[in-house]
Structure 1
């Protein structure tokens, strides 16, 4: 096996420059050939040569209306109140739409303007004029004229024009054919439906890229994953270059790791043109030319691979195909929190977007390049320019939409504390006759209250306990939202406690057990209601946070805490019972608490919020909540008032 060297790319270039360099390096006249296809199958294809009409359309003068064909000059005496009589076969001939115009006739009078006198006689009160309601020869198409120039993409309407003009076949550019080669020792072939073990991942990038390529009308094939063996990768790529593909995409192996062989493979089989772009995610993207064909190295992280395809390969495929680069609808949206960024790098920010009041609001999603679900959850993508150090809170971001703009009006924007019941709520909303999509961002209860204050959401989830009043949420609303009229509706009472591995090997029984410095605790982020609850119980037990190992280690959701416990990254963390149950972990109860939805009263009557309020009264919905375990629905759907507490 060949020893590897790390691929250190010290200089990156802007995306547009990378595309331009590849266009200069490729000869698309050699790369993409033309072919002849039947006209009726040419929709979406691009013409490789100009097309001229064989026939005129129509090929004869024809009636454009049902009625009678006349000679216009013989009708000039007709007047209202002084009708003119016409005789069948002598001064008129009955016609239907599309009939050839009878010899000697040059006009058609609509049947609605004809008065029948008897079987052979009619009267008219309005004269006609030459070529009235007549489709003349060549009115639409004239034989020998240019129908369409080269490189025009054939629309459904164009097919009709081509056939009408007697064009049965057209010469078009080939469809771009792509072969995708996944790589990596750790990569499992999804077709075998594997169960991954530690250190292994299920290969999915090829299918993401395949679907994106098919949206561009490409023909796509994929080979099973190739291990990290340089000779084997080179052999596989070389074989595909000998087949009729225009583009070969190597998934992963484009970065600077000791097992990243994509650059070396491209260099050996041809020329590396671009390695490293000034974009995040997507920085390690590779582009090259081998045997006059385009070869790309897509980064292994899924979001990086998506950016590579959208920002580099989509423009190149469109250029090769002679098609315009697809564009997305754009809106201006107000960003809900500050986002720092690196100078010199254009950053692509995945955003959850919805209309709140009279504006669009955009909440940044997780920025990790490995989080493909952020693309699934996003309604749009914003760009932070390379010359900017970030975006300030409440700034306006020019956003490319991943959905139709009208769909933004169907989105219920929820910012605040995470809870598993929100997943059930999301599913139920999508099952309505008029589906509503729940876009939730988990920033903690305090983050939700601040989002309400800034007008950034329709509702916020919160479970903030105030020990002085023994009440939930209202004391915090009084302090932080004194001038905002809100309505609190209970979602559920839930059980919080310590999530521990099956069998509770550390024998954790109470919060006092965390003070011995041997148990690795995983905390929630600052502002989270769960963290506030934990701090309250630490204070009650007279335990210093400094004595809790892992107090400064943070996660943003209950399920993330549970996963860390499941994998051994932590011994315990505070969370809800439903998260422990979902992963078959054990649970040590600590407290019951009330989880409410804080809703600005101004939005109570909106369709999205009304849909939520109706669902909260549904016995089916309540049953689904209780089935999660660790929830009580005695207050679900009730409007909360100060002093209710847990309703006991």
Structure 2
């Protein structure tokens, strides 16, 4: 039976980076459901995820100079899960006539959505074990016949979430081949799942050797929380979630987190807008302030077809 995760009010406040008073106010208003264990209030992880997802769609429009509305500008969908994409959506809304909507699909599923005409901006962090390259090998296979541009959003560390003190002394991908470990996985199509599966393949580790491989969570925070709660010994994810949840992190790879946009006659203005935002000092400064992100290539063109 799968163990359900829950958080204290203090933990929720830390995850959302707000005060406990703010969380208590949301609970009082009925926006965040809680249950009690003795005198302590706790919140189900799934309820917190639902609150975050509901708050992201449509994306918040930050205050700023009022602009003329473009009546013919349709909403656009930004696919991916990193919090920087919410920031990008705010900048797009301030600098164009588009309303930015958020989809929280994993990298591969987001790319397929773009192929099917269901997303305008897709974020990617898909590792290819044969080339050691990120993203481009997958894009070339899926966006066949579609001209596109691939822009770097940022780089970040990916690796293993482990319990405090790293009791199993995990240091490499090969160390996952241990029948004493309980693993927690990401969903199929996510960048973290692809990274794991490729590392298992190139290190000749059968997936069946990972106890818990079939147990899935849908985001980095939930995987890190599963390790923190003791439901699992190890999971794959990014550094920032480890710090937010409070588990140790073993960095194993620097992943390139990119954005892909199709090059169409209707997308020319959007591509220009996104390029301008990514290379702007204010946008990069806000990313840098979040910590644990490398912005040295932010806004650079990784690949472009004509």
Q: Indicate whether the TM-score tops 0.5.
A: yes
CA distance in 1 between partners of 2:51 and 2:72 (Å): 21
2:77 to 397, 413, 435: 413
Does residue 576 in structure 1 map to residue 215 in structure 2?
A: no
5+ residue gaps in structure 1? 1-186, 196-200, 210-224, 228-300, 303-366, 380-405, 643-648
Does residue 372 in structure 1 map to residue 35 in structure 2?
A: no
1:512 paired residue number: 174
2:65 paired residue number: none
CA gap of 1:408–1:572, structure 2 versus 1, over 3 A, is: farther
Is the partner of 1:581 in helix, strand or coil? Answer: helix
1:424 paired residue number: 87
CA distance in 1 between partners of 2:72 and 2:186 (Å): 31
1:595 paired residue number: 257
Quote how far apart the aligned CAs of 1:593 are.
1.8
- 1:419-568 superposed matches below 5 A: 419-429=82-92, 432=94, 437-568=99-230
CA distance in 2 between partners of 1:640 and 1:194 (Å): 42
Quote how far apart the aligned CAs of 1:498 are.
0.6
CA distance in 2 between partners of 1:584 and 1:500 (Å): 10
CA gap of 1:374–1:473, structure 2 versus 1, over 3 A, is: closer
Quote how far apart the aligned CAs of 1:194 are.
6.1
Per residue, is there more strand in 1 or in 2? 1
CA distance in 1 between partners of 2:279 and 2:90 (Å): 16
2:299 paired residue number: 637
- 1:36-51 superposed matches below 5 A: none
Quote how far apart the aligned CAs of 1:407 are.
9.5
2:12 paired residue number: none
CA distance in 2 between partners of 1:495 and 1:450 (Å): 25
- Are 2:159 and 2:238, in contact at CA under 8 Å, matched by a contact in 1? yes
Structure number with bigger Rg: 1
CA gap of 1:420–1:433, structure 2 versus 1, over 3 A, is: closer
CA distance in 1 between partners of 2:243 and 2:86 (Å): 15
- Are 1:420 and 1:578, in contact at CA under 8 Å, matched by a contact in 2? no
CA gap of 1:411–1:506, structure 2 versus 1, over 3 A, is: farther
Q: Deviations over 1:411-455 (max 9, x none)?
A: 43112x43232233245446x366865422222111111111111
CA distance in 2 between partners of 1:613 and 1:639 (Å): 9
CA distance in 1 between partners of 2:183 and 2:255 (Å): 21
- 1:201-280 superposed matches below 5 A: 204=26, 207-208=29-30
CA gap of 1:553–1:202, structure 2 versus 1, over 3 A, is: farther
- TM-score normalised according to structure 1 size: 0.37
1:279 paired residue number: none
2:287 paired residue number: 625
Aligned residues: 265
Q: Deviations over 1:109-149 (max 9, x none)?
A: xxxxxxxxxxxxxxxxxxxxxxxxxxxxxxxxxxxxxxxxx
5+ residue gaps in structure 2? 1-7, 10-18, 37-42, 59-69
- Are 2:186 and 2:193, in contact at CA under 8 Å, matched by a contact in 1? yes
- Greater RCO (CA < 8 Å, at least 6 residues apart): 2
CA gap of 1:618–1:481, structure 2 versus 1, over 3 A, is: same
Q: Deviations over 1:64-88 (max 9, x none)?
A: xxxxxxxxxxxxxxxxxxxxxxxxx
- Are 2:128 and 2:198, in contact at CA under 8 Å, matched by a contact in 1? no
CA gap of 1:408–1:587, structure 2 versus 1, over 3 A, is: farther
- Are 2:154 and 2:256, in contact at CA under 8 Å, matched by a contact in 1? yes
